[in-house]
C-alpha cells in the first residue's frame, strides 16, 4: 500500500473524503523538523496538514482500485440483516465509527443500511445527515476510481436503492 504521495495525487482522508495533495511543507515542531502533506479536501476546500511520518496511523490512503470498486457495489447490493432491533443512538454511534475508519467498505455498509432503514421508517435527523455524509464520501471516491462523473455514480445508487 502506498504511503507516499506526490503533488497532484488524490488521496482519501478518513471522515473527510477525497483530497488533492497540494504540496509538501517542512516545519519545525517541538524542536524537530517535520514534513507534512498539505491536502485540500475536494468536497469543501478545507486544507489539512498531515505529518508524513503519521500517514499510516491517520489512515490516509490511495483512491480504491477496480477490484475494490466491484466489492463496494457488491456490498451496496447486499440485503443487510434488519437493523430495527438496535436503538437509533446506538446505530448512530456504530455508523459514525465505521465512517471514521475511512474504509470505503465500511462506508458502503453504512450507506446501504441507512438506505434500507429509510425504506422502513423515517430516519432521525442524525441518521439523515450521516446518510448524506456516507453518500457524498462514496460518490466522490467512486467517481474518481471509475473515472466518470458524479452523476453516473448517483444514477448507479438510484438503480440499486430506488426499487
Q: Find out whether 90 and 120 touch, Cβ atoms under 8 Å.
A: no
Domains of the chain: 10-62 (2.40.10.170), 66-161 (1.20.58.1290)
Question: In this predicted model, what pLDDT tens digit does every residue of 114-163 receive, in sequence order?
Answer: 998 888 788 889 889 999 999 999 999 999 999 999 999 999 999 998 86
18: nearest Cα among 53, 60, 51, 57: 60
Give residue 15's pLDDT: 84
| pLDDT band (50, 70, 90) for residue 107 | very high
Q: Could you give the strand order of the β-sheet that contains 10-13, starting from the edge strand earlier in sequence?
A: 47-51, 32-41, 17-29, 10-13, 61-62
**pTM value > 0.85:** yes
Q: Find out whether 55 and 93 touch, Cβ atoms under 8 Å.
A: no
Q: Find out whether 69 and 144 touch, Cβ atoms under 8 Å.
A: no
Q: What are phi and psi of 118, to 5 degrees?
A: -60, -30
CB atoms within 10 A of CB 12: 25
CA 102, 105, 110, 115 torsion: positive or negative? positive
Query: Which carries the bigger pLDDT value, residue 79 or residue 130?
Result: 130
Amino acid at each position: 500500500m502506498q504511503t507516499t504521495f506526490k503533488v497532484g495525487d488524490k488521496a482519501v482522508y478518513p471522515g473527510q473524503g477525497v483530497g488533492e495533495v497540494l504540496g509538501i511543507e517542512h516545519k519545525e515542531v517541538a524542536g524537530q523538523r517535520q514534513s507534512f502533506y498539505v491536502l485540500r479536501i475536494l468536497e469543501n476546500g478545507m486544507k489539512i496538514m498531515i505529518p508524513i511520518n503519521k500517514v499510516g496511523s491517520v489512515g490516509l490512503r490511495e483512491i480504491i482500485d477496480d477490484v475494490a470498486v466491484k466489492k463496494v457495489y457488491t456490498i451496496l447490493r447486499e440485503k443487510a440483516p434488519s437493523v430495527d432491533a438496535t436503538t437509533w443512538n446506538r446505530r448512530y454511534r456504530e455508523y459514525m465509527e465505521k465512517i471514521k475508519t475511512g474504509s470505503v467498505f465500511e462506508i458502503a455498509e453504512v450507506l446501504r443500511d441507512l438506505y434500507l432503514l429509510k425504506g422502513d421508517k423515517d430516519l432521525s435527523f442524525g441518521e439523515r445527515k450521516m446518510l448524506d455524509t456516507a453518500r457524498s464520501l462514496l460518490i466522490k471516491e467512486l467517481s474518481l476510481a471509475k473515472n466518470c462523473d458524479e452523476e453516473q455514480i448517483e444514477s448507479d445508487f438510484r438503480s440499486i436503492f430506488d426499487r
